Homo-oligomer: A and B are copies of this chain.
Amino acid sequence: MKELLDGVLQGQIRAIARLITQVENSSAAAEQAVQVLYPHTGKAHIIGITGSPGAGKSTVVNALVKTLRQQDARVGIVAVDPSSPFTGGALLGDRVRMRDLSGDPGVFIRSMASRGSLGGLAQATASVIKVLDAAGYGYILVETVGAGQAEVDIANAAHTTVVVEAPGMGDEIQSIKAGILEIADILVVNKADRPGADRTVRSLKMMLHLGPVGGTRKSGRISSTNGAEATTNGWHIPVLETVATEEKGMAELAVTLGQHMTHLRQSGEWLLREQERSWREMEMLLQRRFMRQLQAQVPQELRERLLTAVAEREVDPYTAVNQLLSKSTENP
């Protein structure tokens, strides 16, 4: 493990890949790795990229990485989107497009499988991001899909969240309403050479203008510890147009990402987001540890008997939970 961690800190690709596998499969390994690597994190610009399937997120990621690579930055990609070519859910064309990236030693690609347990995916993603951060990747792109709670959790791991839309994807207004604007720092209308692109850009700008603070948006990131709302202190969410298949608009996107980073640092938002991310992560760790402890303390047979009783309406879930908890404090 020691050797592996040294390898990661030196940026050795094979060490990184092996450590990530260990971290994903064992929470003990995750704990050990994070404890050593943590002081070396906090340098990467973590960028969440989300949007509806079909908007061309993966192509945007692909083109953006090429642009960032021209600036000599090392780039890590974490794909949590089951429809992404990075996770293997690709059409043939996407796979071919991906191949030039995966041959580049300055690009590290990791796809995350969906986990069964509540919050398991977000937890694993957080650990993988830390490994890449400590390994010296200057940019870490996290690709997710949709606007569910899990995506919001993962977006919260990012400094900058880019939401990718495309013209003519059903009713834009519906899609905009679907909570996705809440998490956007930068909006991208991809496939901007298609008919209807202007209309999509206009309606997005209108939605932003109609937002709660008249053009300036609330960040939607509320600190769990003090309950106060953090605002982005005057960051006006830009609406950019790209044609990712032709790598158009990518330089502007890269510049805007840098501007957002500067804004975060200068406004103090950076520390707020770090604190919130820390809290979410600690909350997940606490809950997992607690569940493990409970499983160790309460005999499996009792757990299963209670479960069947609840399913058959003989015991209600609250009473069952009380019984479980009393058993776990009885045998410490």
Contact = CB atoms under 8 A, between A and B. Distances in A.
Given A55-B170, A83-B177, A290-B287, A316 B146 contact: no
Secondary structure type dominating chain A contacts: helix
Most buried by B among A149, A316, A324: A149
A313 B38 contact: yes
Contacts of A116: 222, 224
A173 B91 contact: yes
A226 B304 CA distance: 9
Interface stretch (A69-77, A235-243, A256-264, A275-283): A275-283
Interface in A229-282: 271, 274-275, 277-282
A294 B114 CA distance: 29
A1 interface: no
Most buried by B among A35, A304, A321, A324: A321
B149 A325 contact: no
Contacts of A174: 53-54, 83, 91
A316 B222 CA distance: 22
A89 interface: yes
A81 B275 CA distance: 29
B291 A283 contact: yes
Contacts of A321: 282, 285-286, 289
A56 B183 CA distance: 24
A100 interface: no
A284 B53 contact: no
Going nearest first, the 5 A-B pairs with the smallest beta carbon separation are A148-B148, A54-B170, A149-B150, A38-B316, A274-B311
B285 A294 contact: no
Contacts of A178: 53, 81-83, 145-146
B177 A170 contact: no
Contact of A318 (B35, B82, B224): B35
A104 interface: no
A290 to B, nearest CB: 5
11 contacts: A34-B318, A52-B52, A83-B177, A118-B118, A146-B148, A148-B150, A149-B150, A281-B317, A282-B321, A285-B318, A290-B290
Interface in A49-108: 52-55, 81-83, 89, 91
Given A119-B149, A225-B303, 19 more contacts: A38-B316, A38-B317, A54-B174, A91-B171, A114-B149, A116-B224, A118-B153, A118-B280, A118-B283, A119-B119, A145-B148, A148-B151, A149-B149, A271-B311, A275-B311, A278-B310, A282-B307, A287-B290, A289-B325
